[in-house]
Amino acid sequence: MILIGPRTFREVDVSLPTLGSDDVLVKTKIVGICGSDLLTYRGCFIKGYYWGVIMKILTRARALLTGHPDPLGDRSWLEILGHEVSGTIEDSGKNVSDFEYGERIALTPNISCHNCEACRTGYENLCIRDMEIGSSGIPGALAEYVKVPAENIVVIPSTLSHEAAAIADCVAVALHAVKLAEVKGDHKITILGAGTMGLLILQVLNALGLRKIAITDLNDYSLDVAKRLGAEYTFNASQGNVCEEVKRALGPIDRVFECVGGKAPTVNQALDLVGFHGRTIVIGNFTTPQKIKMLRFRKKESILLGCSRYTKSEFREAVKMLIESKINTDLIITHKFPIHRIREAFETALNKHRTKAIKVQIEFQ
């Protein structure tokens, strides 16, 4: 399924990806719809068919000028979304010997160049080439088969469902965000947004023994799930002054996780909530510039940190948490659609206020 324009998919037949020596061909089973996929679907990012064609021309031109082959193969002109993936091993390159045909796997979509300063210093999640399966012109997993580097693959046991394995990417982001926050056992925490990411951060914090956690959202059904997953306090942000309510309940907050993004005023809410020398971790994807109340920020000597992806070791740690049942995905995965109902799946995820969707997944037979 290719995205040819805002809210428009087209089913096409394409050739199988050509494997490099260190690549693996994965037969797709489950693909989750991410918030960034929804932004692309709506046309908020410069994506789609025409952008893909431009990228293909530029890539081909670079290949001719440098003498290096096109690294994306013959499908790089297609905007194939999908990066929250589980599946099975179908084939592998000549240098790959760690996997067998049919093995069940989870995969991380983040592709590291291993050469830039970020990669060399251990920050592969900040790789300057910013490459990810399902974006950056690299074909994603909304297709029967997807090509990935072998180092991106983690084998999963039969006890872990494909549905849960496909959330490993999100769990790894949550884990990375919690590590950035440098939480301590007595910290008071607020999570802004009870979507997939907020609910996973809640569970990672619970796994570390933290209990003084408040979570906010606009939807009561999401807050009900948060309470069932261990949130001590839940607040509907559409009712009254939510920051004052949180502070009355908990006092000054040590750590805030911003998991909303879009056009929401949540960065300033976080700066209002957090106490002196507190930390705010921004995970949400914002579509508009944010005006920060700098005086409040400066006078508290607070720390504002961005959170971008995760490392491969954190991905393996996330898979381990899922295998050990430290993360409950049953309450988070609310909808599942077959691939031929892809537009219905995306609209369900997009209109969560009406559909009560949290994580929507697409299934390949």
CATH of the domain at 228: 3.40.50.720
Is the domain of 113 the same as that of 236? no
What pLDDT sits at residue 48?
44
Is the domain of 13 the same as that of 162? yes
SS3 150: helix
Structural domain includes residue 104: yes
Structural domain includes residue 107: yes
Structural domain includes residue 312: no
CA atoms within 13 A on the CB side of 254: 14
Cβ proximity of 107 and 153 under 8 Å: yes
Is the domain of 247 the same as that of 281? yes
What pLDDT sits at residue 149?
97
Kind and range of the H or E run holding 53: helix 49-66
CA distance 125 to 63: 26
Q: Give pLDDT tens digits along the chain (365 positions).
A: 998 888 999 998 888 999 999 999 999 999 999 999 998 898 875 444 455 555 556 656 666 676 655 444 444 445 799 999 999 999 999 999 999 999 999 999 999 999 999 999 999 999 998 899 998 778 999 999 999 999 999 999 999 999 999 999 999 999 999 999 999 999 999 999 999 999 999 999 999 999 999 999 999 999 999 999 999 999 999 998 999 999 999 999 999 999 999 999 999 999 999 999 999 999 999 988 999 999 989 999 999 999 999 999 999 999 999 999 999 999 999 999 999 999 999 999 999 999 999 999 999 98
**Domain boundaries, position 66:** 2-167+332-363
Structural domain includes residue 258: yes
Is the domain of 233 the same as that of 261? yes
CA distance 339 to 358: 18
Residue appearing with tokens 């991380």: 108
CATH of the domain at 87: 3.90.180.10
pLDDT tens by residue, 118-152: 999 999 999 998 899 998 778 999 999 999 999 99
Is the domain of 72 the same as that of 126? yes
Is the domain of 148 the same as that of 180? no
What pLDDT sits at residue 46?
47
What's the number of domains the chain is made of? 2
Burial class (CB in 10 A: 0-12, 13-18, 19+), 106: buried
Tell me 286's DSSP state: B
Is the domain of 98 the same as that of 76? yes
Is the domain of 264 the same as that of 126? no
Strands (E), the chain: 2-5, 8-10, 23-32, 84-92, 104-107, 110-111, 131-132, 145-149, 153-155, 189-192, 213-217, 233-236, 253-258, 274-282, 303-306, 333-338, 359-363
Q: Taking the complete model, does pTM exceed 0.85, yes or no?
A: yes
